[in-house]
Structure 1
Amino acid sequence: MKHPHLPTTESAVRAIREIAEEYRRTATVTEDIGADRTSRRTAADPFTALDPDGTLPHEAFVELDGTPQVCVRLHPEGDARIAVDHVEFHDVPRDAVPAFLRSVYGGLAHTRGRFFPPGLWLVVPLPGDTVHKELVTSPHPTPWLLRNSRAT
C-alpha cells in the first residue's frame, strides 16, 4: 500500500504498523502528546498542552522487532529520526518513512565503502532517486550491516 501523504503523526504511526504487519514485525509505540511532553519543546512550561499557535503537538516513538533493529521517532514538525542497527538518519520527511522502511525490509538498503579506514556507509534508496546515506560510526558493525554490503 502506498502512503503518498502522511499529514499527522497518527497517520504515520498507522502506516508504520501496516508495514510492520506486512513484514511480520511487531511495532511497539510510545506516544507523547502536549507541548510539555514532546522532545523538542523542553522549554515549555509544565502542564502546557498547546504550542503558542494553539496546536497540540503529537510525537511518537516506534520500535520494530527483529533484524535489523529499527526505531522511528516521529516529530510534530513533520520529520522523523530513524535508527537502523544504531545508524541514525535525522530529518527524514514523515512522508518518506514508509518508503524508507520498505527499502530496509525489502532488501534495497545496503552498506557501501570500506570497514578500514572508517568509511562504511548505510545507504537507503527511496523511489524517485532519493537516497539517504549515513556513516556507520560503530567500531563493531552488526552482522546485518556487514551482510548487506555492496562493492563501491
Structure 2
Amino acid sequence: MDQQPFASTESVLAAIREVAEERGRTMAATHDIGADRTSRRLAAGVGTVTDADGSLPHEAFVELDGSPRVEIELYSEGDATIDVDGVVFHDLPRADVPDFLRSVYGGLAHVSGRLFPPGWRLVVPLPGDRTYRELVHTPGLTPWLSSRVR
C-alpha cells in the first residue's frame, strides 16, 4: 500500500487489517464514536459535538496477537499511539501506522544502545528516511526486544 493520507479512523483500521492479514495476525478492535465517548477533543470547541467536517469523532483501540504484543490507539485528531512490547510511541501521524507495523513485523525494527549505562531504544525505520526511536523503559528486555538487539 502506498503512503497516503488517511481521512478517517476507519480507513486506518482497514489498512491495519490488511497488514494483519499479510502477516497472519488476528486483530481485535473496539470503537468509541461520538463526542461523549471519545477520550479527548483537543481541536473541538467547548460543547461541540461534531468534527469540522460534520462527522462524529471516531477513536479506536486495536490489539494484534502474537509476538511482539502490539496495541494501537487511533485518535480522531489524526494521530496514534502504538505500544510494541511495552515500548510506547506517542503522537505518530495515523498515516504512518501501516508502514510502522510493516517495519515491526518485517524485521526492520531493532533495538540499539548498551547495557551499561542503560540506554536501550527501539528503532523503527519507515520508508522515505523517516525513523521513530523510543526509549525502552522496562527493567529488562522482553524476549522479542532481546532478539532485535544490534
TM-score calculated relative to the size of structure 2: 0.91
- Contact kept, 8 Å, 1:32 with 1:58, in 2: the verdict is yes
Residues 99-137 of structure 1 deviation map (CA, whole Å, 9 limit, x = unaligned) = 000000000000000133220000000011100000000
Q: Residue 15 of structure 2 corresponds to which residue in structure 1? A: 15
Cα distance in structure 1, aligned partners of 2:60 and 2:51: 21
Q: Residue 121 of structure 2 corresponds to which residue in structure 1? A: 121
Q: Residue 69 of structure 1 corresponds to which residue in structure 2? A: 69
Letter in 1 for 2:141: P
Q: Residue 30 of structure 1 corresponds to which residue in structure 2? A: 30
TM-score calculated relative to the size of structure 1: 0.90
Moved over 6 A (4+): none
Q: Residue 83 of structure 1 corresponds to which residue in structure 2? A: 83
The structural deviation recorded for 1:52 is: 7.0
Q: Aligned in 2, Cα 1:56/1:86: closer, same or farther, shift over 3 Å?
A: same
Residues 7-45 of structure 1 deviation map (CA, whole Å, 9 limit, x = unaligned) = 110000000001000000000000000111111149x9x
Cα distance in structure 1, aligned partners of 2:48 and 2:149: 45
Q: Residue 49 of structure 2 corresponds to which residue in structure 1? A: 50
Which runs of no fewer than 5 residues in structure 1 stay unpaired?
none
Equivalent residue pairs, number: 146
Q: Secondary structure at the match of 2:103?
A: helix
Which runs of no fewer than 5 residues in structure 2 stay unpaired?
none
- Contact kept, 8 Å, 2:23 with 2:105, in 1: the verdict is yes
Identity %: 61
- Contact kept, 8 Å, 2:109 with 2:124, in 1: the verdict is yes
Q: Residue 105 of structure 1 corresponds to which residue in structure 2? A: 105
For the aligned residue pairs, the C-alpha RMSD in angstroms reads 1.9
